[in-house]
Amino acid sequence: MGLILDYRKLELKFKFDAGTSRGVLKTKTSWILKIFEKSDSKTFGFGEVSTIERLSFDYSVDFESELEELKTQLAKLAKPSNKAEVFQLVKQLVKAGRPAIRFGLETALLDLLHGGKFKIFDNSFYQGDNGIPINGLIWMGDQEFMKNQIDEKLSHGCKCLKLKIGALDFEVEYELLKYIRSRYSADELILRVDANGGFTTQEVLKKLERLDHFELHSIEQPIMPKQPEAMGLICEKSAVPVALDEELIGVFSTRDKIELVDDIKPNFLVLKPSLLGGFVATDEWIAIAEARGIGWWITSALESNVGLNAICQYTAQHYYQGHQGLGTGQLFENNIHSPLVIQGEEIVYNKTLSWDFITLGFD
C-alpha cells in the first residue's frame, strides 16, 4: 500500500514573444507529476500542474512545498479503484484554492487508474478515431506578425480564427479584422476575438459597436474581471456576443458560480480546466451553463502536451458544439513529444506516434 509521487519543474519556452493585453510571455512554468504504487514502479500516471503569471489564481503559491506535503499524504493511501474515487480523493487532499494542483493530480491519478498509457478518458479521441475542431489562435504583435499568422492559419484550412486584441492600437486591430473579412465572409470563416480584459468600461461599448461590422462570433472578456455590474451591462447592450473567461477564475463554490452567471448573463463561458480546478469543477460550470441555455467551449491554458492531452480527452467526453481552443501545443520550442497533432482544423491523437519519456525529465 502507498502511492509514490515524484515531480519535475518544466520551463516551457515560447517560439516567439506571445503578446496579450496583460503583457508579453516568453516562458511559462509547469510541474510534471509522476505517480505510481509502491508495489508497482513500472506502471505510472503523469499529470501537469500548470500556472500562468498574473492569471492563475494560485500563481504565487510555493508549489514545491505543497507538492512535498502532498507526497507525504499520498504515501499513506492506496490507488483509487474508479473515477469517482479519484475525484473524491483529490477533493479530500487538495483545497479548492489550489486549482492547478487539483487538475494535475486528477490527471495523474486517472492516467494511473487506466494503466499508465496517457489514457485519461477512454473515448474515440484517445483511440485516434475522431479529432476535435479547434480555432486558429492569432497572437498579438506588430501588424505584419499578426497578418503572417492569419495567412498561415487560413492556408492550413482553419475555419475559425481567434485574435488576441486589446493591447495594440485599436485602429490597427480594426484593420486586421477588416483584412480578414475582405477575404472571407462570415459564412466562410468564424471570427472570435479575445480582449483579455483590455478595454476600459468607458470605451468598451463604442468599440464593440464598431467590431459588430465584422459579424464576430464572440468577444472574450472585454473588460477586466470582478466588475459584475459593468459586465452585465455589456452583455445586455453589446451586439457582439460576450464570453466570460478570466471572470471564472477564483470562483469555486457552486453558489458563487450560479450567482455570477445569473447576474452577468453572458452568451458563452470559456472553460480552462487547469485554471478552474480540474474536471469536476469544469463539469459544474458546464451544467450551470447548459441549464441556462448558455454556450461554452473548452480551452487549454498554455499547458505542455501532458496537460493538453488530458484536456483534449476530457473535451471528447462531452457533447460540445463548435470549435474548441486546443491548439496551444505548437507554441513551445521544448514541448514534450506526443501523439497530439494538428491536421487541418482539428487536433487528433495519432496512435502511430509515441510519447517521449526522456523530455518528461524523470530518470
Q: How many domains does the chain have?
A: 2
Q: Does residue 350 lie in a domain region?
A: yes
Same domain? For 155 and 255 the reply is yes
Q: Does residue 119 lie in a domain region?
A: no
What pTM did the predictor assign?
A: 0.94
Same domain? For 187 and 324 the reply is yes
Structural domain range at position 47: 3-113
Q: What is the DSSP letter of 97?
A: T
Same domain? For 91 and 174 the reply is no
Buried b (16+ CB within 10 A) or exposed e, 21-59: bbeebeebebbbbbbbbeeeeeebbbbbbbbbeebbbbe
Q: Please check whether residue 89 is in contact with residue 80, taking contact to mean a CB–CB distance below 8 angstroms.
A: yes
164 is catalytic: yes
Q: Does residue 16 lie in a domain region?
A: yes
Same domain? For 161 and 245 the reply is yes
Same domain? For 9 and 149 the reply is no
Q: Of the residues 28, 119, 153, 272, which is catalytic?
A: 272
Same domain? For 104 and 140 the reply is no
Q: Does residue 351 lie in a domain region?
A: yes
* Sole residue written with cell 506588430: 142
Q: Does residue 118 lie in a domain region?
A: no
Same domain? For 94 and 148 the reply is no
Q: How many residues does the chain have?
A: 363
State which of 53, 83, 113 marks the end of a domain: 113
Same domain? For 146 and 210 the reply is yes
Same domain? For 108 and 241 the reply is no
Q: What is the DSSP letter of 337?
A: P
| C-alpha to C-alpha distance for 308 and 174, rounded to whole angstroms | 31
Same domain? For 301 and 328 the reply is yes
Q: Does residue 330 lie in a domain region?
A: yes
Q: Which residues, given as ranges, of the chain have pLDDT below 70? A: 1, 17-24, 363
State which of 80, 113, 146 marks the end of a domain: 113
* CATH number, position 71: 3.30.390.10
Q: Of the residues 153, 164, 207, 257, which is catalytic?
A: 164
Q: Please check whether residue 294 is in contact with residue 264, taking contact to mean a CB–CB distance below 8 angstroms.
A: no
Same domain? For 41 and 91 the reply is yes
Same domain? For 295 and 338 the reply is yes
Q: Please check whether residue 296 is in contact with residue 268, taking contact to mean a CB–CB distance below 8 angstroms.
A: yes
